[in-house]
Amino acid sequence: MPDRDLPDDLVLPLTSGEPWWYWSGGRPAVDFVNTHRERWRRNVETLVTPRDLANWLVGAGVMASDADALVTAKVLGQARDLREAIDALVVAAIAGDPAPAEAITLIDDWLVFAGARPQLVVGPGGVPHLTERAAADSPRRALGMVALDAAQMLGTPEQRGRIRICASETCSGRFFDRSPAGVRRWCSMRTCGNEAKARRHRARQREGATATTSTTTGAT
């Protein structure tokens, strides 16, 4: 569901953004950026409430469902800041511009949450056992994993060169191009790609009709 599929009569601001998420970004960091819809027009926020953020993190597979109660309004605000920092680097990478230093710092600050976290538990026979906490045991850990995905994507030339913004004039969807040739233009061929093909077809038909009319007029 790219940006152009948001209804024109959508009541804003949303009370919940969950019905308007889509997952065609190719990786969690890009899907996260795409929770800010219609950057080209209405700037629709779909991470409206802490519950929205919790459900998105669970849906993205970076947080366990039993950690959703830990998402607070403060964490929601921090998550939005992280999202916009990632997007600032995405836009800079696509444009070939210098990356904003403050955005790099903000993402780097989140990487501490993505690291290994030891946990001491009761093991077999009741003896203590040192293990590692689950990767998705808190919202900040989950956001740290999103930041790590962004850092891995943005921090290497090979991956950075595959970041795209949909070529449609009515879509601001970001995506990571996983096509073998690296020449994908649309966030989704089923939606924006097909619509672009349809527009080209209609334009050719109009040009053909105009040429036929001109020829007929000239003959008379």
Rounded percentage of the chain residues whose pLDDT exceeds 90: 69
Residue 212 lies in a domain: no
Residue 219 lies in a domain: no
Give the pLDDT of residue 212.
58
Please give the Cα distance from 44 to 125 (Å, whole number).
Answer: 54
Residue 211 lies in a domain: no
Domain span at residue 50 reads: 3-187
Q: How confident is the model at residue 111 (pLDDT cuts 50, 70, 90)?
A: very high
Residue 108 lies in a domain: yes
Give the pLDDT of residue 192.
87
Residue 214 lies in a domain: no
Residue 157 lies in a domain: yes
Residue with tokens 């190719």: 26
Element (H, E) at 118: strand 118-122
* Total structural domains within the chain: 1
Please give the Cα distance from 49 to 47 (Å, whole number).
Answer: 6
* pLDDT tens string 2-52: 666 799 999 999 999 999 999 999 999 999 999 999 999 999 999 999 999
The mean of the pLDDT values for the chain is: 88
Please give the Cα distance from 168 to 3 (Å, whole number).
Answer: 10
Q: What is the CATH number of the domain that holds 96?
A: 1.10.3300
- When pLDDT is averaged across residues 109-122 and rounded to a whole number, the result is 90
Please give the Cα distance from 80 to 149 (Å, whole number).
Answer: 16
* pLDDT tens string 80-95: 999 999 999 999 999 9
Rounded to two decimals, what is the model's pTM?
0.83
Cα of first residue to Cα of last residue in the chain, in angstroms, is 50
Please give the Cα distance from 14 to 44 (Å, whole number).
Answer: 8
CA 102 to chain CA centroid, nearest Å:
20
Residue 192 lies in a domain: no
Q: How many CB atoms lie within 10 A of CB 150?
A: 27
Residue 49 lies in a domain: yes
Please give the Cα distance from 183 to 162 (Å, whole number).
Answer: 9
